[in-house]
């Protein structure tokens, strides 16, 4: 499905105390509702990409990833801890630069992002049934019911829903009382992803452009380690859950 918003050229985003990013203004005001509109930052998507990789052998269609997101790169730093992003047409999975990902929710029920969520949900359920011996096959409806209840509880408690939280909740979902046997999962290290230490995640990031390097030293915007000033990798500060 082709993107349907030709006037989507830029957006201005702001970070919050939890290192999550929200769209403050956007070039296409006709098609986008800015009320609590979130955007996935490069470090969050790097973690999401690793989770998606673990699902490839269970039927994940990787081409649906690029169809589900609009991609942006940093253009300039603005006042009040805001950043201007400009639209690029690069693949999220093949890009050489660090990109922000805005889900295509122009049609929330039948659009590319909705199709993508439905697809990864089905793949996740298939993965669970392959790796866990349930008395009865686990169903998509059971997973959706639990995730919907969690989302509703967050809403009632006044927590805003971020796209990264929504997606990671699906990609990491395991029913209460069960766990995935790490030896059976597609993890070369033989360790459960829930128990991995992602503190060295920055060491795997690709080099950013000169323009991005100029912006990132700001404390709130920095996600690459400063090799000249730090002896150890900086802790992971993206949107992924912090499981110690």
pLDDT in tens, 122-181: 999 999 999 999 999 999 999 999 999 998 888 787 788 899 999 999 999 999 999 886
| pTM for the model | 0.72
What is the pLDDT, as a whole number, of residue 96? 74
Q: What is the mean pLDDT of residues 104-123?
A: 93
In a domain, 156, yes or no: yes
CA distance 31 to 188: 43
What is the pLDDT, as a whole number, of residue 238? 54
In a domain, 113, yes or no: yes
In a domain, 1, yes or no: no
What is the pLDDT, as a whole number, of residue 181? 63
Structural domain boundaries enclosing 167: 10-215
What is the pLDDT, as a whole number, of residue 212? 47
In a domain, 242, yes or no: no
Q: Dihedral, CA atoms, 170, 174, 176, 178, nearest 10 degrees?
A: 180
pLDDT in tens, 65-104: 999 999 999 999 998 889 999 999 888 888 777 899 999 9
In a domain, 3, yes or no: no
In a domain, 208, yes or no: yes
What is the pLDDT, as a whole number, of residue 20? 93
The answer on pLDDT for 207 being more than 90 is: no
> Which residue has 């890009």 as its token pair?
95
What is the pLDDT, as a whole number, of residue 163? 95
- Asked if 202 contacts 233 with a C-beta cutoff of 8 angstroms, the reply is yes
Number of domains in the chain: 1
Listed in sequence order, the residues at least 6 apart from 212 whose beta carbon sits closer than 8 Å to its beta carbon are 73, 74, 97, 98
In a domain, 84, yes or no: yes
In a domain, 60, yes or no: yes
């Amino acid at each position: 499905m082709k993107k349907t918003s030709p006037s989507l050229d830029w957006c201005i985003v702001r970070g919050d105390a939890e290192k999550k990013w929200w769209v403050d203004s956007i070039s296409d005001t006709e098609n986008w509702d800015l009320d609590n509109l979130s955007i996935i930052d490069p470090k969050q998507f790097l973690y999401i990409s690793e989770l998606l990789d673990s699902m490839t052998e269970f039927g994940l269609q990787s081409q649906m990833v690029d169809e589900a997101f609009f991609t942006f790169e940093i253009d300039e730093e603005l006042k009040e801890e805001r950043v201007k992003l400009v639209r690029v047409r690069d693949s999220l999975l093949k890009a050489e630069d660090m990109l922000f990902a805005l889900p295509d929710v122009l049609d929330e029920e039948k659009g590319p992002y909705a199709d993508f969520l439905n697809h990864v949900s089905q793949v996740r359920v298939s993965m669970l049934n392959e790796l866990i011996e349930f008395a009865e096959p686990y169903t998509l409806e059971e997973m959706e019911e639990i995730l919907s209840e969690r989302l509703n509880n967050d809403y009632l408690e006044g927590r805003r829903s971020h796209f990264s939280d929504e997606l990671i909740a699906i990609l990491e979902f395991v029913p209460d009382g069960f766990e995935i046997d790490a030896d059976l999962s597609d993890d070369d290290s033989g360790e459960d992803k829930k128990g991995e230490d992602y503190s060295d995640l920055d060491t795997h990031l690709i080099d950013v452009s000169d323009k991005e390097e100029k912006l990132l030293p700001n404390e709130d915007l920095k996600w690459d380690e400063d090799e000249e000033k730090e002896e150890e990798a900086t802790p992971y500060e993206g949107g992924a859950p912090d499981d110690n």
